[in-house]
Every structure is written in structure tokens, then in C-alpha cells.
Amino acid sequence: MELKEVIGRRRTIRFFLPFRPVERTKLQKMLEAARRSSCVGNVMNVRGIVIWKEQASDELLKAITPPLGYQQMQTAPVFILWYNETAAYDVEKWISDLHRLAETRRIGVNVESTKAQIDRGLRPAFGAMWKQAAVAPLAFMDVGQAIAQATLVAYDEGLSTCCMSSPRLEQIGRLLDLPESAVPVCLQA
């Protein structure tokens, strides 16, 4: 299917057939599409956790499916919790990732001079602002782009989806034992 057709036909679905299984390969394709999304600074801060309803604890299901409203959360057989991993912005990780890009000749022309430029110019700049960048609008834009790509692939694979936000996202994150550096963004049914 052509991209413009997928964009034009895709809809948010708020009722699912709970008895219809979701193939793991289709979810894997969604996760791969999210991983390949554009990312400011090549940080790769987007994370997703797949939650299979039949394998989730009662406490987790209660947090995901509130008693009032959210019909889609009551009927969806699987969810993805998407979050921003702020630790991906750690200056040492960021610089190390850029060095690897230079070593594999994906940035720069000369490996050693590119690494020197990274250390001279980018390390001081990133070092001064990485904690702010980890929670800046661009970080969350990257998460949104990843979710959008996953959503389009889901449609192309014959899956329906719906993204939800909730005051319970933090609680869901705690139940999934996310690291303190994780900022839950949305739950996708």
C-alpha cells in the first residue's frame, strides 16, 4: 500500500475484538518502525514495552483499564507503553554514540578529525545541556514521531490502534518497574 493511502485511510479505533489474536511479528514490525524513526542528535530515546493482556497482572490491568470510560482499553488484547528514556541523553553515552558513527564513517570524512571535532565542539555543548534536552519538547517530538511510524505500520499490517494518555501512566510505569529516568508518554492499544 502507498504511504499516502495508509495516511489517508488510517483511523483511531476505540473498540477491539478481544478474542482476535495479535501476531507478535506485526508488533515487532511496529517496534522496528519506531526504532527507525528520525531522532534529534541520534539519541534514540524512545522505548516501548509490549503488554499482553492475558499475561498482565490484575494490578496492571486495573491501572490500564479504569472502570469508567476507555472502552478501547477494556477490549484491546495488547498494549504498548511508550516512554521517553531520559538516560539516553547522558553526555557520555551521546558522545560515545557519535564516536561510533565517526568510526563507521557515517558522519565526517576523517575518523580522527571527526572525533576531535566532537570532543572539542559538541562535548562541551552537550555537557552543559543534556539534562534539559532530555525533557525538552524535541525529546517528546521524537517519541511522537516513533509512535506515528508504529501506528502507520500497524495499519499497513491490518491492525487497529488507539493512543491514550492517562494520569495513571506513572502508576503503570511503576508497575512495569521502569527506571527513574523513564517518562511515560502514552499507552497504545
pTM across the whole model:
0.86
Q: What are phi and psi of 71, to 5 degrees?
A: -50, -40
* Phi, psi (deg, nearest 5) at residue 51: -120, 110
pLDDT given at position 94:
87
pLDDT computed for residue 124 by the predictor: 94
- pLDDT, residue 40, reads 83
State residue 2's pLDDT score.
83
pLDDT of residue 70: 66
| 167, three cell numbers | 494520569
pLDDT at 166: 77
CA 107 to the chain's CA centroid: 25
pLDDT < 70 regions, the chain: 1, 11, 13-15, 67-70
Compute the distance between CA of residue 100 and CA of residue 96 in angstroms, rounded to an integer.
Answer: 6
